[in-house]
Structure 1
């Protein structure tokens, strides 16, 4: 028997495709920002409605049993209504006790309600968590979708055959039904601005060479350095400029300009809330006011007139 042609065998081996290829693509991003999946909002809503309707029917059945228990006069029935141990004994026949059909029926109903209620609450919590999860980045979703449809040009009508067939070919159709399991830690406005406008400087090629990834870690380092420099400029730049200027009107004008610039930086470049913006701006302005009210700028001592006496501060 002749040995197989190794070179021919290598040419006949097909690369991974389908679900294996899509999974490898999602896992190839070191930042894991491509872990994007459908939430199935409509199905989740319908599932919750089904749970809700089923529990409503079970609740109605339990209320009917409670209404019947109110008119029961025997002591055993009253004990089962007041004591869980008695209820359990007569429902399950513990220690040779005769099983009462009515109590057994009620116990089965209670256990069924408990099981369904736990599943319903778990589904509610999971759906709430998904709704509060951040949406996928538009640029990441666009790149992943173009790869999924072999749209190398990224044009509107450039979609080709999808990586997955059947109903799975529509997984990226509705961006509002998608959830990103992981998003970059720093999602402030400054980081988003750098990512969308200068992300090309932080890109690395993917292993397949067909797409590029924007390194969120590199952007985070760049933002940290730039933010440190900007904070230093806002503090020391304002102090130096206010120290050099001698005119009172110029001092007030520069104080206002530096305060407005600081408020704009905090409000536009970060995700600070309004109260945080006001607090930070007030603290910054207070530091500058204290600085210009002293004698560091070479101003003359303040004079205060009390009646016929004039007191000069030293």
Structure 2
């Protein structure tokens, strides 16, 4: 009498076969759920090698074209109109067309690689998010195909969202990063048909509410700007010495420049322009105050 083997429990089945119940369908959904998760390799070394190979191919054609030009300009060669494409040698025209094709590939590839090189490398926190997923679900992706995570010096974010220095500073604190106020529930994952028995929980990943965080950071910036305008005005109002007033203005102008650089993504000349406008406001108030006195 034969007995049927007992089927494994859902949790055991999930633990032993994550590649079946998760795999790329779930991993791809997780990557697409947040810009900070979608990391890919830039392949710097391979791109450099391909560029050198394309360059070598063009150099060969360039040398061949130069030889044809010298040959057709020689005294012993038949008369060829070297100043006309219409009357040019078909062989030389064909070579130029081949060079055009190679140059187009080369230029397009250079432009694409230049755009990639301008992207900064992924931050360690983003890399750790990717590593944590693979550590939480080991075996879901083939080890050889998930090894790209270890290439930390070659990873970039597919979509790079600029963050102000103030936001980067606030995100260092756990109380800010894990606050429920700044979290949201992303779109529902499309679970596999057997997801109810796998034990996979997409809610284990915490997603930041970008709009709320940006709104909070903007509110902090506005508050700082308001205080930087009001506080020195009241101090100048009760300061009669011109030297003391200039010292106060100098201190607040330096502080304003430091704040602008630390809380915004403004470029240096933009920060200096804003600082100059701020200094002008304080100087005007100082002049008005001196006239009243």
Aligned to 1:284: 278
- The correspondence for 2:155, drawn from 163, 172, 178, is 178
Q: CA deviation at 1:117?
A: 1.2
Matches within 5 A, 1:196-235: 196-197=172-173, 198-201=176-179, 202-204=182-184, 208-235=202-229
1:121 aligns with 2:107: yes
Aligned to 1:33: 36
Aligned to 2:133: 147
- The correspondence for 2:171, drawn from 195, 211, 232, is 195
TM-score by length of 1: 0.72
- Structure with larger RCO (C-alpha < 8 A, sep 6+): 2
Q: CA deviation at 1:177?
A: 0.8
Task: Specify the SS of the correspondent of 1:134.
Answer: coil
1:167–1:109 distance in 2 versus 1, CA, 3 Å: farther
Q: 1:253-306 CA distances to partner (integer Å, 9 max, x unpaired)? A: 54344233212212322233444444433332232122122247952xxxxxxx
Give the gaps of 5 or more residues in structure 1: 1-7, 88-102, 151-159, 300-314
- The correspondence for 1:271, drawn from 265, 268, 274, is 265
Matches within 5 A, 1:229-308: 229-246=223-240, 251-295=245-289, 299=293
1:137–1:213 distance in 2 versus 1, CA, 3 Å: farther
Task: Specify the SS of the correspondent of 1:136.
Answer: coil
Q: Is the 8 A contact 2:233 2:282 kept in 1?
A: yes
Question: Hey, what's the Cα distance between the residues in 2 that align with 1:24 and 1:241?
Answer: 56
1:169 aligns with 2:172: no
TM-score by length of 2: 0.77
Task: Specify the SS of the correspondent of 1:135.
Answer: coil
1:223–1:258 distance in 2 versus 1, CA, 3 Å: same
Aligned to 2:78: 74
Aligned to 2:198: none
Q: CA deviation at 1:249?
A: 6.2
Question: Hey, what's the Cα distance between the residues in 1 that align with 2:73 and 2:114?
Answer: 39
1:247–1:109 distance in 2 versus 1, CA, 3 Å: closer
Question: Hey, what's the Cα distance between the residues in 2 that align with 1:114 and 1:167?
Answer: 39
Q: CA deviation at 1:205?
A: 5.4
Give the gaps of 5 or more residues in structure 2: 1-7, 190-201
